[in-house]
Amino acid sequence: MRITSTSCICPVLVCLCFMQRCYGTAHHGSIKVTRNQTKHIEGETEVHHRPKRGWVWNQFFVLEEHMGPDPQYVGKLHSNSDKGDGSVKYILTGEGAGTIFIIDDTTGDIHSTKSLDREKKTHYVLHAQAIDRRTNKPLEPESEFIIKVQDINDNAPKFTDGPYIVTVPEMSDMGTSVLQVTATDADDPTYGNSARVVYSILQGQPYFSVDPKTGVIRTALHNMDREAREHYSVVIQAKDMAGQVGGLSGSTTVNITLTDVNDNPPRFPQKHYQLYVPESAQVGSAVGKIKANDADTGSNADMKYTIINGDGSGVFSISTDKDTREGIISLKKPLNYEKKKSYTLNIEGANTHLDFRFSHLGPFKDVTMLKIIVGDVDEPPIFTLPSYVMDVYENAKIGTIVGTVTAQDPDSANNAIRYFIDHHMEEDRYFTIDTNTGTVKTAKVFDREETPWYNITVTASEIDSPGLLSHVPVGIKILDVNDNPPELAGDYDVVVCENAKPGQVIQTISATDRDDFANGQRFHFSLDDSLSFNPNFTLKDNGDNTASILTRRRRFSRTTQDVYYLPVVISDGGIPSLSSSTTLVIRVCACERDGRVRTCNAEAFLSSAGLSTGALIAILLCVVILLVIVVLFITLRRSKKEPLIISEEDVRENVVTYDDEGGGEEDTEAFDITALRNPSAAEELKYRRDVRPEVKPTPKHPTSSRLDSIDVQEFIKQRLAEADLDPSVPPYDSLQTYAYEGQRSEAGSISSLDSATTHSDQDYNYLGDWGPEFKKLAELYGEIESERTT
């Protein structure tokens, strides 16, 4: 199939075709184009014949932005099988086929029906095929080709980042790079000069220039001064077609600002200044300002002011205000017109940030002279002292002189002074002052213990100028007089242990005195001499403003006396000496061995065990329940037990149980225990009451009269013999019990029954050393000993 294109305006594009050799007549199905053939002219014969060559084209070209009324011709498809009889049908498929590109299926001509934009799509890929119109069978394989959109110069260069804002230091060298601008062109850079851009400057000369190829903007002058001109607006143009006539162009604006450098030294506008300062100016206050001008800005204009010489350098000082860059002149010492009426200062202003590149423009400092004139002012009186301290004794009478204040007129007139007290506070009403002499007197009677110090303010004014006032603080100290007796330092809770020993310290007391240190810090302690001798306690003065309370005897008993009273007399060392009497309450308490108080009342015995009321109630309930159970158990057993003696004919032995425990060792009146003490008091022979004896009892054994002289063993043997010889003994065993303690030994009885009515001289203090298990026993014997001593 032959493909012919007539739309190529560039002959070079013909080289993009690709050639295929054909031999002889083209075979069926081959794609070829015959080129450079000489056709027959009517009436002439063929004079030259070249061999046929098959040209296979794989791309077409179509111009973009075609605006003609007719479709744009792209090219022609032709198959070798096409004999011109319309039997061959051409089919076009691919990108844009049928919409953008159409084909004449008989002739194979291809047209573009729409205007194309290369910047949107650069080429289209299509497929061509020739088929038999009658059979619809392909005459040759499908062939792929490309239609490229040929570019035209329809896009102007654009600066995508503009407009630009840039800075460059002033005084820069010529040719200093400022900024590089770049313009882009959407046209095809590979075809012609449509996208070839050159740069030029439209505005900003002669200060700046631009490189036509790179777009770099540079300074075009030496030493551009910011103080002369700071802002520049430069217009840069970019033109395609290499800047030729007919090329499209675009422009942008570059705003260039010159930044400051320190190339200008400071300068005072004047070489001489004059300043008026009244003598009444306060020390530390600002009295004037001075400023040196600097054309630079920012840190390049920062400067420092100093006083380099002059007779007023010791009276005045200068500092720099960083915001306004002014020199602030302040007063260091008070001025006195009568002593000195003017001062001279030489002030220097210098830059603090120097740029040595411009040192040849210096020096970067300047000096001026300032003359300060002191103004005369009618001044208020001046006190001889900045403050006064006075004192007066408490209890002093009204009108007592406290002290005197003095003020003078500093002016040459030396006017008379009047004094008065500002009664703005309550304290100011407690004193008066003589208006002419300045003497301060009391207006009330003072109590140092109530207020030890007063502060008042005395005002002085000139009689001729009452509006000029001066004030001075006056502190008045109230001196102490010994008018307060000493007292105990606190409410002491004095406790003595029951097991205390003679000479034991049970409490140390101290005293306080509201009077001053000189009168009230030496105390003496003693017992009241008006009372009788105290046999229980004594008082010892320790000599260090404290006293110790000591016991005089051994052991105290709460049951006998639980509280004692001890009158104490305390006197101070003041002149005259004052004293007071206080009665201390001493409680008797039970203590541990180490002296810790365990309890101080009789009701604390239960609490000493560490049991709460709820626990005690629970224990009592358990005991009651156990007793009820035991009583029920015994009652049930007795109800089931058979009687011991059924009838008089029943001769069996009976055991009778008696459960009388008595009242303990202290119960000596419940029954007669004489039989236990002495076997001689017992009956000689006891017959059984449940069996009638058949014989009379035998006479008393002759040895019974000597029972007092026999021991227990002999006594038991005698009773055993009587039981064996008793004819009334039943034929079964009988258990008889004998209890005898025996005769008194030389060592004495170990039972408390026989010694209940006697008193022992033994000391039971060792019971307190046996531990907590014997505390109760030690307390009982301690109380007995205490009662016995009392």
Residue 5: CA atoms inside 13 Å, Cβ hemisphere, count? 25
Strand partners, 469: 461
Beta bridge partners of 184: 158
Q: What's the Cα-to-Cα distance from 265 to each of 271, 306, 325, rounded to whole Å?
A: 16, 16, 14
Q: Which pLDDT value is given to residue 749?
A: 55
Do residues 374 and 342 make contact, with C-beta atoms less than 8 angstroms apart?
yes
* Cα separation, 604 vs 754, whole angstroms: 33
- What is d(CA 439, CA 429) in angstroms, rounded to the nearest whole number? 15
- List all residues 6 or more positions away from 420 whose beta carbon is below 8 Å from its beta carbon: 433, 435, 458, 459
CA–CA separation, 541 and 718 (whole Å): 77
Q: If 0-12 CB within 10 Å is exposed, 13-18 middle and 19+ buried, where does residue 67 land?
A: exposed
Query: Which residues make Cβ contacts (< 8 Å) with residue 59, sequence separation at least 6?
Result: 16, 145, 146, 147, 148
Task: Give the chain's residues under pLDDT 70.
Answer: 1-57, 427-428, 517-521, 602-612, 640-711, 727-763, 782-790
Euclidean distance between CA atoms 474 and 391, whole angstroms: 10
Rg (CA), the chain: 70
Residue type (1 letter), 195: A
Q: What's the pLDDT at 733?
A: 58
DSSP 138: B
Tokens 């001499």 found at: 529
Assigned token pair, 68: 């003609």
* Residue 419 bridge partners (DSSP): 460
Q: What DSSP string runs through 641-708?
A: SPPS--STT------------TT-TT--SSS--HHHH-GGGS-S----SSS--SSPPPPPPGGGGGGG
Identify the bridge partners of residue 276 per DSSP, sorted by sequence position.
373
Give the Cα separation of 589 and 604 in Å (integer): 10
The model's pTM is: 0.42
**Torsion sign, CA atoms 74, 80, 84, 85:** negative
Instruction: Specify whether the CB–CB gap between 431 and 476 falls below 8 A.
Output: yes
Which H helix or E strand runs over 102? strand 101-103
Is the CB of residue 315 less than 8 Å from the CB of residue 276?
A: no
* Percent of the chain clearing pLDDT 70 (strictly above): 75
Measured between alpha carbons, how far is 571 from 91 in angstroms, rounded to an integer?
141
pLDDT digits (tens, 9 = 90+) for 381-419: 889 999 999 999 888 899 999 999 999 888 777 788 999
d(CA 58, CA 123): 13
The C-alpha atoms of residue 714 and residue 706 are separated, in whole angstroms, by 11
Question: What 3 state SS string does 12-27 have?
Answer: HHHHHCEEEECCCCCC
Q: Is residue 715 helix, strand or coil? A: helix
Q: Is 511 exposed, middle or buried (0-12, 13-18, 19+ CB in 10 A)?
A: buried
Rounded to whole angstroms, how far apart are CA atoms 101 and 73? 10
- The whole-angstrom separation of Cα 422 and Cα 684 is 120
Provide the token pair at 283: 């020390």
Residue 29's Cβ-count burial label (10 Å; 0-12, 13-18, 19+) is middle
Q: List, for residues 513-542, the tens digit of each pLDDT value.
A: 877 765 546 888 888 877 778 888 988 888
